[in-house]
Structures are given as C-alpha cells and as structure tokens.
A = this chain, B = another copy of it.
Amino acid sequence: MTEPLRLGIAGLGTVGAGVVKIIRQKAALLEARGGRPITISAVCARNRVKDRGVPLDSYDWEDDPVALAQRDDVDVFVELVGGSDGPAKAATEAALRAGKDVVSANKALLAHHGQALAELAEASGSVLRFEAAVAGGIPVVKALTEGLAGNDIERVMGVMNGTCNYILTRMESAGLTYDQAFAEADGLGYLEADPNLDVGGIDAGHKLSLLAAIAFGTQVNFDAVELEGIGCVSIEDIRQAADMGYKVKLLGVCQMTGRGLEQRMSPCLVPATSPLGQLEGGTNMVVIEGDQVGQIVLRGAGAGEGPTASAVLGDVLDIARGTRVSTFGQPSANLSKAKPAKTATPAPYYLRLVLLDKPGALAKVAAVLGEAGVSINRMRQRSHDQNTAPVLIVTHKTTRAALDNALAAMVGTGVVEGEPVALRIEQV
C-alpha cells in the first residue's frame, strides 16, 4: 500500500486550514505512520479568495461539497463544514454512497443522523469516523470504541464544552456574575453564533449522545438527552458549593439503567478534589467507567485548530493503515433502540432557598422534605439579611421526582421566597 491516500477537504475554517497545514508540513511523518503518502486532491469552502494562511493553489477547488465528495480522485471525504443538515449532510451522504470513507468533525450531523449514516456507510463498505466531533483533541472515541472494547461500560461522564467551563470557572475565580462571564467569553470569541448551542448544553449534548451510542451499543438518540443549560447557575451557588467542597460543572452523564438509557447534560456539583472538579478553564474531560478497567480519565483541549486537526489526522491515518472500524463500534444492525430512562438515577441534591422571616419557617421546610421522603444530610442557615435568610441543604440520595414534589410543597408553604435552586450532586 504505497498508493497515496487522497483527501477531499470540505470546509476551510480554522480546523480545515489546520489540517491542510499539517499535511503539508508533516508529509514524511504522516507517510511513515500511515504507511502511505497522505495527499489532498481538492478542497471546498464558501469563499474562494479568503487568505487562510496556507497555500491552496496546488489543490483543485470545488464550489460544491457534494461534487467534492464524489470526485474520482478522492478516497476520503473530510467534512469540516458543520451543521446538522444542509450541505454537510448532503455531501456526507454523497461520499458514502460513492464508496468514499468519511472523516467528520460534525457532532450535530452525527448526533441527529448517526444511525442512518452508519447504515449508509456499511451498505457501501465505507468507514465513517468522527474523533474530532467529541472533545476535540482527546482520542476518546478511539478509547471507547477500541481500547476499552472488552468492557461493559457502566457510565460515561464528561465536561465537553470548554466555553461553559470557562464561564463557570471565571464566575468562581473572578467573582463575575453569569452575565459578566458570558460577555467576557463572547468578547474572546468563545461562543458559537447561536450561544445557546454552548450555554444551553446542546453542543455538549450532541457529544454525549455519540459517546452513549458507542458505550452502550445503542442507536444514537440526541432527542432523548435531558438538557439543562448553565444559565440557571448563580455566583451564589458557585460560592456555596465551593464552601462545601464542590465545584459546579456542566456535566454530561450517560448510563444504562433498569429504567432505560439515561442521558443528561446539566449543571452538577462534583467534589472539588475529583479530576472533574479540578478541571479549569476551557479544558475538556471525559471519564469512562468500565466493569473491568474501573475508571479511566481523559483530559485535553476540547477545541481549537491544532487539537481538532490532530483528531482529524488520527482518523485519516487509521484509514491509511487499513483500519476499518464500524461507526459506533459494532455493525449498525446490532445497535438497539434503547428506551430513554424517564427519571434520573437517584442522587444527593444541593438546594438553595431563601426563607422569609416567619416563625417556624425552617421547620416547615424540613417537614415537606420529610413528607416527600427526602432526607437531609447537611443544612445550613446563614445569618439573616433583613427579612430573609438563605438556607443551604444537601440531601441524601433521592429521586428527582420526590425532590420535585418536595420543592412544589415547599413553595406552597408560603415561607420560601421565589423558587428554590436544586442542583444534582453527581457521585464521581
């Protein structure tokens, strides 16, 4: 196999330009490791004249990614366009139908259409790889699909949106409000054009749904991911959590339970001393728990030119070497339609509420918790601030349903101001 592996690269943003640079600069290294030269036949992007800091003259130009995907001189279609539908989907499908292998960084596309694309790839004997779609440079898709394939996976957790972790870290370290930290991240260009993709947990939820499919042998089902963004997290919660030895993270968790497949992306408290708790700034982390291997932690840059291009190149080199792994680690016909778990695995919760200064207020709150079957592990009432008193409660393990009953009843007592805040404490 000394024939070159010929790429067609669609999308020449930061990552696409990075991939081109690496292929130009590291030709000898890539050939040594891949066993054959890696070349680029053609590229495609919306704007032909833009300077991307890398010479493109030696590659053919296509205006249409579908045309690029079908070229005879393209062995591997590299999809860096993005978006769950439109040109990215059309071109990926065209490439697979034409028997090309596909390397994609497109989490939205895979999360929404992964099963259909995996079936299409198999039908034409192609491989479809997407390491760059999950947690940037961390080789987590490979670890889960290949390295840990001898395990029944018990749980996968991840902090997989660097922007959210940056905002939460800045709220704690600089004492910023959510709005201030959000504005700072925006000013640094960290936010997607639609910020809700980041702070609403959608982007991280896409990634989680892909890991869940591999981990549990299920058809990817992003719609079943329970999503909660970080907009509800206040600086007060971050401070109180820190004071009790916790950090607040936008944490993705998936696990297979007797009640079905649980996929959650929500702000959670994790112990400050755990690897997840120690993660700061824009770094990503994925924690994989297998029945044999125990807990494996993977940490690295979750975005950016170099890290994402590194992941793309890893997939390209696998294809160069002849490695052919099913999209989600096993034939798509094996992947089951998992019933989504309607309720989350019981956990302790952190509650923050504001008591009105009425006689017996605290007793009423404790009573409604007890009546709902939620028992209290720690409670702390702070000194009165005029006519109200902030109260912090850490519950013992409880179901979310019991907790929601208790919170509704609590509001009904009339001794609580506004809505109580409830954040899950994930046992890591």
Please report A residues at the B interface, Cβ cutoff 8 Å.
18, 22, 26, 29-30, 32-35, 131, 137-139, 142-143, 146-152, 217, 273, 275, 278, 290-301, 304, 306-307, 309-314, 316-318, 321-326, 329-331, 334
Contact = CB atoms under 8 A, between A and B. Distances in A.
A297 B296 contact: no
A298 B297 contact: yes
B33 A149 contact: yes
B306 A294 contact: yes
Contacts of A329: 33
Contacts of A309: 150, 292
A293 B297 contact: no
13 contacts: A26-B152, A30-B149, A32-B330, A32-B331, A33-B149, A137-B293, A143-B143, A150-B309, A151-B313, A294-B304, A298-B298, A321-B323, A323-B325
A142 B326 CA distance: 17
Contact of A300 (B297, B301, B306, B310): B297
Contacts of A147: 131, 139, 142-143, 311, 314
Given A137-B292, A321-B325, A310 B148 contact: yes
Contacts of A273: 278
Given A294-B300, A306-B294, A314 B149 contact: yes
Given A26-B152, A29-B152, A146-B318, 5 more contacts: A146-B317, A273-B278, A293-B307, A297-B297, A323-B323
- A-B pairs, 9 with minimum CB distance: A150-B313, A139-B147, A137-B293, A292-B306, A293-B310, A297-B299, A296-B300, A292-B310, A32-B330
Contacts of A32: 217, 330-331, 334
B298 A293 contact: no
A22 B297 contact: no
A149 B296 contact: no
B296 A137 contact: yes
A146 to B, nearest CB: 6
Which of A143, A146, A297, A309 has the most chain B CB atoms inside 10 A of its CB? A146
A150 B297 contact: no
Contacts of A313: 149-151, 292
A150 B296 contact: no
A162 to B, nearest CB: 12
A138 B246 CA distance: 27
Nearest to A136: B293
Contact of A307 (B142, B294, B334): B294
A240 B318 CA distance: 47
